[in-house]
Amino acid sequence: MAPQPTPAVRVQAEDFDLGREQALLTRGRRDIGALVSFLGLCRDEDGALEALELEHYPGMAEAEIRRVADEALERWPLQGLTVIHRFGRIQPGEQIVLVLAAARHRADAFAAAAFLMDFLKTRAPFWKKERRADGASGDWVSAKSEDEAAADRWR
Amino acid sequence: MKALYFAWVRERIGLAEEEIAPPREVVTVRELIEWLSARDEGYAAAFANPATIRAALDKTHAGPDAPIGAAREIAFFPPMTGG
């Protein structure tokens, strides 16, 4: 067995570049057969959202993502893993989260990326507050039971 | 120990963090929530529905029955909505 790769985990206010992150993960590699990327974007469904304010728990956010990433590495033979999650003010259309999973074969890369997102949603300490376009103070986004169910299917 | 509050827990309590010194009989996360709830209306409102409160001891998720032990930091927050 090849040694397990070290996941690249970043929690940051700044935006990120998907192409650059893919290049970093695959640079100089000849053994990767599949790279799955998931990009989560800030979504405005009814034209009423000005922005999301993403609050996070510094230190724990990184630690928890790293724990989930380590669990993914235990479950699937991966060649590389990158997780980036932003915090702060994010407007509709902007990027929030990136997961890159690289493996020899696509099934492992797909499964690991889905697993990471399901667990990030329920375990990584981030909270979204809506800022409304009409200036009214928005609400905290509430957690969805579908997200819990999505995470439970991996148990 | 240091207590941290996030999202609407922080807003209802009106503080992001504070030093707390719970008495010796407060052993578990649940008992600490009960002890804090008795402080004033803000704390009572924040912890009114314990099913919606999550906790972490030294930056690791902890259930209501987890002993606080020698943790230096405890955090309280709503269910997470990242991703």
Nearest to B78 by CA among A127, A60, A86, A57: A127
Q: Where are the domains of chain A?
A: 8-152
Percent of chain A residues past pLDDT 90, beyond the cut: 81
State how far the Cα of B16 lies from the Cα of B6, in Å rounded to an integer.
Answer: 7
Residue A133 has pLDDT above 60, yes or no: yes
Q: What's the Cα-to-Cα distance from A20 to each of A13, A23, A46, A49, B28, rounded to whole Å? A: 17, 5, 32, 29, 46
C-alpha–C-alpha distance, residues A36 and A74, integer Å:
18
Mean pLDDT of A66-93: 97
Residues of chain B contacting A63 with CB distance shorter than 8 Å: 59-60
pLDDT band at A155 (very low <50, low <70, confident <90, very high): confident
Tell which wins on pLDDT, A49 or A145: A49
Q: Strands A34-41 and A95-103: what pairing?
A: antiparallel
- Residue A153: per-residue pLDDT: 87
Q: Are A120 and B82 in contact (CB under 8 A)?
A: yes
Is B17 part of a structural domain of the chain?
yes
Buried b (16+ CB within 10 A) or exposed e, A64-95: bbeebbebbbeebebbbbbbbbbbeebeeeeb
**Tally of domains in chain B:** 1
Q: How confident is the model at residue A2 (pLDDT cuts 50, 70, 90)?
A: low
First-to-last C-alpha distance (Å) of chain B: 30
Interface contact B83-A59, CB threshold 8 A: no
B72 lies in some domain: yes
Strand B54-57 and strand A137-140: pairing? unpaired
Nearest CA in chain A to B52: A143
Q: What is the pLDDT of residue A136?
A: 76
Q: Is the ipTM of this complex over 0.90?
A: yes
pLDDT at A149: 84
Q: Note the pTM of the prediction, 2 decimals.
A: 0.94
Superfamily for A8-152?
Answer: Molybdopterin biosynthesis MoaE subunit (3.90.1170.40)
- At CB < 8 Å, which residues of chain B contact A? 4, 6-8, 56, 59-61, 75, 77-83
Residue B82 lies in a domain: no
Q: What is the pLDDT of residues B11-55, one digit of tens each?
A: 999 999 999 999 999 999 999 999 999 999 999 999 999 999 999
Contacts of B78 in chain A (CB under 8 A): 127, 140, 142-143
Residues of B in contact with A127 (CB under 8 A): 6-7, 77-78, 80-82
Provide the pLDDT for residue A1: 54
DSSP string of A92-103, one letter each residue:
TTSEEEEEEEEE
> Which structural domain range is residue B60 located in?
2-77
* B83 within a domain of the structure (yes/no): no
Please tell me the distance from the alpha carbon of residue A62 to that of residue A54, in angstroms, as a whole number: 15
- Per-residue model confidence as pLDDT tens digits over A56-77: 999 999 999 999 999 999 999 9
Q: Is residue B7 part of a domain?
A: yes
Query: Which among A61, A96, A104, A52 is positioned nearest to A80, based on CA atoms?
Result: A104
Amino acid making up residue A48: A
- Closest approach of B77 to chain A, Cα-based (Å): 8
